[in-house]
Amino acid sequence: MVEEFKGIAASPGIAIGRAHLFTKEKRKIVRKEISSKLVESEIKRFNQSLEKAREYLKDLIDRVRREVGEKEAEIYEAHLMMLDDESSFIKPVEEMIAKERVCAEYAVEKVLEKVISLFRSMESEYMRERAMDIKDVKELVISFLIDRETKREELSMKSVVVAEELLPSDIATLNKRMVLAFVTDKGGPTSHVAIVARTLKIPAVVGTGDFSTRIRGGELLIVDGDKGLVLLNPTEDVISSYRRLREKKEAVLDELMRETKFPAITVDGVRFKVFANVGSLEEVREAIRYGAEGIGLLRTEFMYINRESMPTEEELLEVFLSIGKLMKDRPIIVRTLDIGCDKPLPYVRMPEEANPFLGWRGIRLTLDNPRMMKTQLRALLRAGAYGNFKLMFPMITTVEEIRKAKELLMNAVDELSSGGIQFGEVEVGTMIETPASALIVDLLADEVDFFSIGTNDLTQYIMAADRGNARVSKLYNPLHPAVLRMIHKIIEEAHNAGKEVGMCGEMASDPRAIPLLVGMGLDELSMNPSSIPKAKKVIRSISKKEAENLVTDVLSSKTLSEVLDLIAKFNKSEA
Ligand code: PEP
Ligand code: MG
């Protein structure tokens, strides 16, 4: 009988195949006492295992960089850094061996388990998932201490890999060409298995509870990575209908990919810029593949996370230059660091706050850390000498914030020019993602060259509905009349002041919202790379004039359902 299991959709696509159960032999670490004479040699043994682990990881990094990509290799670079962590790893282990006279594997287990539970207790999901990295490092060091070879898991045929959890080092041991899909009992949408699966375009469902204990290797599965479903022992009928669905999806995707080559021009001849939001070098490559005409939002946070100290100006410059090289002369809008609330950094002390989304985040935090901000601004100005870079500030609520941020920029310009360091001019823009900034677009227009609407935050602040809270998700919708009126006003005010305005919130990729944004005359739509083909197709199929009429009707709607009805009617008439 076919059984259905629900998990979290972690990477889209459909896979049909036999299960390969990925199991790890569980090793038991026992507390072995050693005599005081052996303390020194035990510490030496520990250091030797670290050396072996380092060599293993360096090798792995090379292989992953070649076979998978830069982003995945970075995961192991972070592991390498953890191995060298004196204060929370090496020293405490050595001290425990010396003071408690215990064997090295027991000390490693105890010390790192403490760090792991600390990470697991953190509020941020991202930090909780990093506990997996520490566990991975722990397993690696112990495997060298007890002299066990780390071997590559062999997949004899293409299979759906099912596991309780997959650590980065487990994934590295798999031959990805043989993996049809991943299914794991543990993990969330930002776990490594999810990231790797999305990058490699392998369907994945995570968080399936106890699924791996409910099946045997070789059983037939359908993995639906769009819906987060796994079907066990499907009937012939179900298999055929999933096959048809898969073919349909592939055909739609092929057709959509053809759209990427063409500019987004409406049927009455008005062109709209379609840009990409990116947060890594990998995503810049994706953006180009999907036909992005520029980067509308470079989330710089990726240059700061997964490390233990602030990146240097040179390190930042190097990343900017790599992006500039890929994008050639296409514009790249770089957002200054937007950390705080859901995006903490281990090396920036952030106090507990009752309302983090209303707290110390984005520009508020970076203006209070001028040195950190200046380093980023200097690196960007220097990159400006080589590419079409623009600068954008997040979470602005007042004119004073923009002025202060620009003052820091001018300081950076003065420093670079008096130091004889080459730099380029960069345009300055601001995000409009708070109601306060939306209401003073005319005043902000005197301070900046362009605007970009961040509807992800703007919607939550207008509707007073947390963007991550499922209970109020009905309210969290940018198509509500209040949000639409606000967006309309922002665009109008910006244009009255002669300034361009784009949108980098998720709304820009919503096919239902695009006719409204076209009708309101938004200059640029920026979205996750894989949404670009569909967005271009929508723009190319509608008339700007008709979209303007739709906007007039929608702005006098009273409810969300009226708005949705008007959009549905418009789509029918334009089809
Ligand atoms: C937004 O708020 O719309 C936005 C693009 O920023 P982020 O999603 O990074 O907060
Ligand atoms: Mg935002």
**Cβ-based neighbours of 288, under 8 Å, separated by 6 or more:** 326, 327
Which ligand 1 atom is nearest residue 301's CA? 9
257 CA to centre of ligand 2 in angstroms: 29
3 state SS for 393-433: ECCCCCHHHHHHHHHHHHHHHHHHHHCCCCCCCCEEEEEEC
Top-confidence residue, 209 or 169: 209
504 part of the active site: yes
Ligand 1, residue 504: give the atom nearest the CA: 5
Give the residue, out of 365, 456, 509, 522, with the most ligand 1 atoms within 8 A of its beta carbon, to mutate for a pocket test.
Answer: 456
| Cβ burial 240-279 (10 Å sphere, 16+ → b, else e) | eebeeebeeeeeeeeebeebbeeebebeeeeebbbbbbbb
Q: Could you tell me the distance, in angstroms and rounded to a whole number, from the CA of residue 344 to the centre of ligand 2?
A: 14
Closest atom of ligand 1 to CA, residue 394: 6
Ligand 1 atom 4 nearest Cα? 454
Distances (CA, A) of 114 to 90, 109, 125, 376: 14, 9, 18, 34
Question: Which region among 61-65, 104-108, 279-283, 456-460 has the lowest average model confidence (pLDDT)?
Answer: 61-65
Using the mean position of ligand 1's atoms as its centre, give its distance from the Cα of residue 277 in Å.
Answer: 10
Q: Which of 103, 341, 488, 504 is catalytic?
A: 504
Q: Tell me, in angstroms, the distance from the centre of ligand 1 to residue 453's CA.
A: 9
Q: Select 36-145's CATH number: 3.30.420.10, 2.60.40.10, 1.10.274.10, 1.10.287.470.
A: 1.10.274.10
Per the CB < 8 A criterion, the answer to whether 185 and 191 are in contact is no
Q: Cα separation of 336 and 358, whole Å?
A: 19
Tell the residue nearest (CA) to atom 6 of ligand 1: 454
Ligand minimally distant from the alpha carbon of residue 527:
1
**To test ligand 1's pocket by mutation, which of 305, 361, 433, 490 has the most ligand atoms within 8 angstroms of CB?**
433
Task: Give distance in angstroms: CA of 394 to centre of ligand 2.
Answer: 7
Q: Where are the domains of the chain?
A: 3-22+153-243, 36-145, 271-574
| SS3 track for 550-566 | HHHHHHCCCCHHHHHHH
CB-CB contact of 334 with 297 (8 Å): no
Rounded to an integer, what distance in angstroms lies between the CA atom of residue 529 and that of residue 505?
13
Plot region of 187 (φ>0 → left; ψ -120 to 50 → alpha; else → beta) = left
Distance CA 18, CA 217 (A): 8
Task: Pick one of 3.40.630.30, 3.20.20.60, 3.30.420.10, 3.90.1150.10 as the CATH number of 271-574.
Answer: 3.20.20.60
pLDDT at 168: 66
The per-residue b/e assignment along 440-477, b for 16 or more CB within 10 angstroms, e otherwise, is bbeebbebbebbbbbbebbbbbbbebebeeeeeeebbb
Angle at 242 between CA 241 and CA 243, to 5 degrees: 90
Lowest mean pLDDT among 91-100, 300-309, 342-351: 342-351
Q: Reply yes or no on whether the pLDDT at 167 is more than 60.
A: yes
Nearest CA-CA partner of 289 in 265, 256, 264, 321: 256
> Which residue among the candidates 20, 192, 480, 488 is catalytic per the annotation?
192
Residue entry with tokens 């950094």: 345
What is the per-residue DSSP string for 491-513?
Answer: HHHHHHTT-EEEE-SGGGG-TTT
Determine which of 40-54, 65-79, 484-498 has the lowest per-residue pLDDT on average. 65-79
Residue 25: phi, psi to the nearest 5?
-70, 130
Model's pTM, two decimal places?
0.67
* Structure confidence by residue, pLDDT tens digits, 214-270: 988 889 999 999 888 999 999 999 999 999 999 998 888 888 888 788 899 999 999
* Model pLDDT, residue 139: 83
E strand or H helix at 206: strand 204-206
Active site residue 192: yes
- Say how many Å lie between the CA of residue 133 and the centre of ligand 2: 27
Measured at the CA of 449, the angle between CA 444 and CA 453, to 5 degrees, comes to 65
How far does residue 140's CA lie from ligand 1's centre (Å)? Answer: 37
Residue-wise pLDDT tens digits, 305-363: 767 789 999 999 999 999 999 999 999 999 999 988 767 777 888 888 888 889 999 99
Q: Which residues line ligand 1 (CB under 6 A)?
A: 297, 299, 338, 433, 454-457, 504-505
Q: Which two tokens stand for residue 451?
A: 């605007």
Atom 7 of ligand 1, nearest CA residue: 456
Alpha helices in 310-398, H assignment, sequence order: 313-327, 363-367, 370-383
- % of the chain surpassing 90 pLDDT: 60
**Mean predicted lDDT score pLDDT of the chain:** 89
Strand intervals (E) in 255-330 = 264-265, 271-278, 295-299
| Closest ligand (CA of 526) | 1
pLDDT of residue 153: 57
Q: Which atom of ligand 1 is nearest to the CA of 297?
A: 5
Give the pair of three-digit tokens for residue 80.
């390498």
Mean pLDDT, residues 420-437 taken together:
98
What is the C-alpha separation between 51 and 60, in angstroms, rounded?
A: 14
Residue 147 pLDDT grade (very low, low, confident, very high; cuts 50, 70, 90)? low
Q: Which atom of ligand 1 is nearest to the CA of 455?
A: 3
Between these two residues, 148 and 81, which has the higher pLDDT value?
81
Please answer whether residues 202 and 177 qualify as being in contact, where contact means their C-beta atoms are separated by less than 8 angstroms: no
Nearest-atom index, ligand 1, CA of 456: 3
Under a CB-based contact definition with an 8 Å cutoff, are residues 171 and 192 in contact?
yes
Highest mean pLDDT among 4-18, 65-79, 318-332: 318-332
14-22 β-sheet, strand order: 3-6, 229-232, 220-224, 14-22, 159-163, 179-184, 204-206, 8-11
CA 289-9-259 angle, to 5 degrees, is: 25
Residue of 338, 434, 483 best suited for mutating to test ligand 1, as the one with most atoms within 8 Å of CB: 338
CATH code for 3-22+153-243? 3.50.30.10
Q: What is the DSSP letter of 19?
A: E
Going by CA atoms, what residue is nearest to atom 8 of ligand 1?
A: 456
Nearest CA to ligand 1 atom 1: 454
Atom number in ligand 1 closest to CA 505: 3
Pocket test for ligand 1, best of 459, 462, 503, 504 (most atoms within 8 A of CB): 504
Q: If you average pLDDT over residues 455-474, what whole number do you get?
A: 86
How long, in residues, is the chain?
A: 575
CA Rg, the chain, in Å?
A: 26
> How far is 45 from 446, CA to CA, in rounded Å?
65
Residue 445 alpha carbon to ligand 2 centre in Å: 20
- Mean pLDDT lowest for which of 31-40, 191-200, 285-294, 361-370? 191-200
